[in-house]
Chain A
């Protein structure tokens, strides 16, 4: 056991960061000691990712001081952060899957194992083996990285970080893609790393892990530090209270009674054994789907829309088999995807082209001939209905603000007047103003008798909008709760398996 040195390895003092429309970090201070695991927890949007980006050199703080081993410093780029001994293990791994472990470990540092640009494979293999041994991985360095399970790929990343003399390792949701057994192995490794004097900043939603691993805990909420201290002084309940903090804030709409209609969509789902083996939506109902990132929420919603579900699907009582998004669209099911930029929109096409894409078959004349005036009419009506702010319907969608882009992505499906609308993270990355407008839209859809499935990471959003909420964990529907009688604490506990 290395005795922790007196001063912190890394210290942040009053760090601030703003993005247009959002104050992502408000005067956050944090100290990391050698040989400790410091857990960073908070809901989505609390500022964890921003903090990780600042420490990884990807973003620069607007204000505040960063000290490395006591000396004031800046991390101007990801390379600068690595040189300063800070390694980030991201959720998405950054290894090259088609290359071997040895090639990956020495990527960009081939000079260490070669001369005049000629790499010696045997020296590279030896160097890689030494790096792997340091964290106790017995794999052959010539193994292709892509053939390894994610858990081992993570270890390869850690080995690379250590070989670069990392003193601080940031782990961003490292267990999101791991099985229980793999996670346990990772925790053991984290214990070993601690013993060698490495400081670990552990970002996670999973409070059981946090309680098990952390020496100290920092809780962020809405970009501000709300609690900080030795892990032993917290209970899980206290952490959840700190994370949630408030009752449902003002910008969430007040719950209102809704008149529910007939059963619209009824999906037989083996993974929903815990809630009767079925997932259903009624007309005029908003059904939430809660779960942590990686719980399979979006995947399930996507499979429902794209035709990847195994169970029987009934639409208005009739058995249907959606084969493709096209087929689902004809059946009256729509999906607003979570990844707006790549899946929801055509960034390089105009607002008009984006808005009309789902209804071309309805507004075209014989032989698919389109009339520009008709397209413009449809686009203008949607722009007015959703209050989309854009200079004209001919500008590229990519030039609009995030909130307005999201409104275009939704308007596209509103145009179709689908009976069932699946919304995946409809308010991710949009400012408060646009959020409120999107909530109003969702409520209006329900009033119009649509069935809305709202997949979201924002628990208060789910609670204030939904009638019922399904909770997913590790690909399974673990419970279905009545939103009016549930609480943030209950949902977070269900989603994280407490």
Chain B
């Protein structure tokens, strides 16, 4: 408990001392929180600060970080995607069926990722072109994708022990697990997309003010649609990694992944009301959640309490975000 209190106190106190630095601090707050968390855990949790454990944390974090990177785009435009958890399961199941049918690792994985993109396109069309509320559309997606995953597998896990596909989840490249490499590549790509492309600038514009974006000639529906497609593709990739790690497709997997992803985005300083956010913040958010889970595990805290702890951290992050926003607004 004490570590969380320290984190919050640090985030909360600094801006009042340096009023004009508030924007900078708002940007650096997640990084500071992560740094502090690592320090505290290294000091108090035996076995935390070892290469083996840290590699383990990175591996565990990677799936959430990849999903959350796509979610960051969606949330910056002011949207949300609640269907990612079910989609992880569905893409895994489709990929495994395709893999078994064709006996081709590549085809199976491509099929899984394609299904992710299709599902994103479905969500995106409904949200962007038919203007349905994202919350409801993706809530529908949440049960549809889960239902489809259960249907095509008849509710049973499909195990496949042999095959090169497992490398995606279990392989090691230059000393780092492959999923960690995947996470790094995804975060760099999304960061580039957001900060250095026309599409990225349009994403911020749509989130900043949809009307102003439209009147500036930005094709708002197209931008929104694309964020859901990218989110779906990345969720598909995460689904492939999970399947490869488990050497099986589990129709019941991925439950609550949407919450972890949204939590990572919010913890990373992206505003749920849109217009503001960065993907490296999301990576930090995912790391914070991962480290917290890992440390509580090492300390032997029951997983039930861990849920409570995670919820409290999210509330704290939203509180700090709101508080910083008001400070920023009052500076005008």
Contact = CB atoms under 8 A, between A and B. Distances in A.
Interface of A: 305-306, 324-326, 328-330, 335, 337, 342-349, 353, 356-358, 360-361, 364, 367-372, 396, 398-399, 412
Given A325-B215, A325-B216, A399-B331, A356 B209 contact: no
B205 A328 contact: no
B212 A346 contact: yes
B163 to A, nearest CB: 34
A189 to B, nearest CB: 36
Contacts of B216: 325, 329, 357-358, 412
Nearest to B276: A348
6 contacts: A329-B216, A337-B212, A348-B275, A353-B205, A358-B217, A364-B198
A369 B219 contact: no
Given A329-B217, A346-B204, A371-B196, 15 more contacts: A325-B214, A325-B215, A325-B216, A330-B217, A345-B209, A346-B209, A348-B208, A349-B208, A353-B205, A356-B201, A357-B216, A357-B218, A368-B197, A370-B198, A372-B196
B211 interface: yes
Interface-centre pick from A328, A347, A372 (highest chain B CB count, 10 A): A347
Nearest to A346: B208
B332 interface: yes
Nearest to B208: A346
- The 9 A-B pairs of least Cβ separation, nearest first, read A329-B217, A346-B208, A368-B198, A360-B198, A326-B217, A368-B197, A357-B216, A364-B198, A349-B208
A370 B196 contact: yes
Contacts of B202: 360
Contacts of B181: none
Contact of B218 (A326, A337, A343): A326
Which label, helix, strand, loop or mixed, suits the secondary structure of the A interface?
helix
A369 B194 CA distance: 10
Contacts of B215: 305-306, 325, 335, 337, 343-344
Interface string B260-287: 0000000000000001100000000000
Interface residues of B, number: 25
A324 B219 CA distance: 9
Nearest to A362: B198
Contacts of A398: 332
A324 B275 CA distance: 23
B321 to A, nearest CB: 13
A369 B196 contact: yes
A370 B197 CA distance: 5
A306 B251 CA distance: 46
Contacts of A326: 217-219
A4 to B, nearest CB: 47
Nearest to A352: B201
A392 to B, nearest CB: 12
Given A326-B219, A370-B196, A344 B212 contact: yes
A394 to B, nearest CB: 10
Contacts of A348: 208, 275-276
Nearest to B202: A360
Interface string B293-332: 0000000000000000000000000000000000010011
Nearest to B214: A325
A403 to B, nearest CB: 15
Contact of B204 (A324, A344, A349, A412): A349
Given A325-B216, A325-B217, A328-B217, A343 B204 contact: no
A1 B217 CA distance: 60
B10 to A, nearest CB: 25
B199 interface: yes
Contacts of B201: 353, 356-357, 360, 370
